[in-house]
Each structure stands twice: as C-alpha cells, then as structure tokens.
Structure 1
Amino acid sequence: MKKSSIIGIIIIAIAIGVIISTYADSSTYGTFADAQKTEDELHVVGKLDKGKELIYNPKQDANYFAFYMHDNKGKNCKVVFNGTKPQDFERSEQIVLTGRMVGEEFHASKILMKCPSKYNKNEVEVRGADASEVKI
C-alpha cells in the first residue's frame, strides 16, 4: 500500500471515532423516573407546578433556586438549581432541565424555558392606563 492510502485510512478511522464518542457522550431526554435509574445527566421536559411555592431568597442565598415540576408522565419532583431564578419563570409554558437526581431531588445544571408568545393567533393583548389586561 501507498503511504497516502495508509494516512487516509487513519484519518477516516479517527473521524469515525470522534463521531461515535460525540454521540455516546450526548445526554438524552427522559422523565424523573428515568433520572432515578441513571447517574448520567438527562434532559427532563415538563411544566411548572404552580400550586407549590418557588423557593428563592436572593438576600439569603442568590445561587439557590428550588421549585416543583411535573414531567411529561405527570410525576412531580422538587428541582434544585444552583443559580439565580430566570426572569419570567412563572410565565413559562414548558421547561427543559438538564441535570441528575440526587436522592429525591433533581439537581439541574441548566434550565431552558419556553415562554408564551406575545403573538398568539386571534388574541391581542391590550393594556390600559391602570395596567389591567384585556384579551380581544
């Protein structure tokens, strides 16, 4: 074999190895029940439980935020995030968490929110001088 053929085969093998290792390291989507079964980071999609309190006191600890969330299967779990509370968190329609279970709590390293669109079909938000809201 020629030297250039051997070098080409080595480069292709390295590229395949990089692609496989990137795919193997990526985290997957699951539920809180799936997160209890694994120690790897997992993406959990769900909705904020608005019936329970949000725990955030920036004067005491600005990097502690806790709340309760229902995953897509309906399981409710306490979520702890070591960071500040995201703006308009209560208005989010859907939340995607990246993290892992620690005991009975889900410790999130990232929070992504899907916020409601201000351009809803057939709905226009009108605010008056007294800041009251009317949907037309």
Structure 2
Amino acid sequence: MKKSSILGLVVIAIAIGVVISLYGSASTYGSFADARETSSELHVVGKLNLQKELHYEPVKDANYFSFYIIDEKGEECKVEFSGAKPQDFERSEQVVMVGKMEGNKFHASHITLKCPSKYTNDKVEFTEFKAKQANI
C-alpha cells in the first residue's frame, strides 16, 4: 500500500473514534425509572411538588438544596442539588435536571428552570444553575 493510503485510513479511523466518543457522552432525556437503569447522567424533566418540603438552610449549608419532582411519567422522586436554591424556584412551570440516581435519590449536577414570563403570557424564560464542584 502507498503511504498516502495508510495515512488516509489512519485519519478515517481517528475520525470514527471521535464521532463514537462524542455520541457516547451525549446526554439523553428520560424519567427517574430510566435514571435507575443507567449509570450515566440523564436529563429528567418534571414539575415541582409544592405539597412536599423544599429543604434549604443557607446558614447550615448553603450548597445543599433538596426538593421533590414529579417526572413526565408521574413518578415522584427526591432530588438533591449541590448548590444554592435558585431564585423563584417555586414559580417554575417545569424543571429540567441533569444528573444520576444514587440509591433512591436523584443527584442533580445542573438545573434549568422554565418560568412564566413576567411581562407577557406567550413568552417563557429559561434560567440555568450548575452545582458546586467539590474540592478534592
């Protein structure tokens, strides 16, 4: 084989490897049941259960916030977030969380809130929040 043919095959193999690695790390949407079945991070969409307690005590630990979400399939789960409670959290229409299940709790690393607009009825605001990273 010519050197250019070998080089071409190597470049193609590297490109295929990059595409596969990017596809494998892409997060997908699912429910709490799906999160229990996978060890990778998953997007879960749901609504805040205002009938249950929102636990946030900034004096004790400003980087711990827990709440209950009902996902799109109707399953309720406790969610823990390593960060401050987002402003106007109770007003959100929908919560999108990125994280994974640990035991019977969902640990969110990222939260996006879908809130009703303050000014018009046909526009929606999105606010994103990321969890604090632990110092190792």
**TM-score range, shorter-chain basis?**
0.7 to 0.9
Shift of 1:47: 0.7
1:8 and 1:114 map into 2 onto residues whose CA distance is: 47
The CA RMSD over aligned residues, in Å, is 1.3
1:7 and 1:103 map into 2 onto residues whose CA distance is: 48
**Residue aligning to 1:65:** 65
Report how many aligned residue pairs link the two structures.
121
**Residue aligning to 1:96:** 96
Shift of 1:19: 0.5
TM-score (ref. length: structure 2): 0.83
- AA at the equivalent of 1:83: G
More deviation in 55-64 or 110-119? 110-119
Moved over 6 A (4+): none
TM-score (ref. length: structure 1): 0.83
Rg larger in structure: 1
SS at match of 1:115: strand
Asked if 1:33 is matched to 2:42, the reply is no
Shift of 1:109: 0.9
- AA at the equivalent of 1:92: S
1:103 and 1:5 map into 2 onto residues whose CA distance is: 51
**Residue aligning to 2:52:** 52
SS at match of 2:116: coil
- AA at the equivalent of 2:121: N
Identity of aligned residues (%): 64
**Residue aligning to 1:107:** 107
- Write out per-residue CA displacement over residues 89-120 of structure 1, whole angstroms, 9 at most, x where no aligned residue: 11111111111111111111111111112321
SS at match of 1:59: coil
- AA at the equivalent of 1:119: T
1:38 and 1:107 map into 2 onto residues whose CA distance is: 13
- AA at the equivalent of 2:107: H
2:103 and 2:2 map into 1 onto residues whose CA distance is: 58
Long gaps (5+) in structure 1: 122-136
Long gaps (5+) in structure 2: 123-136
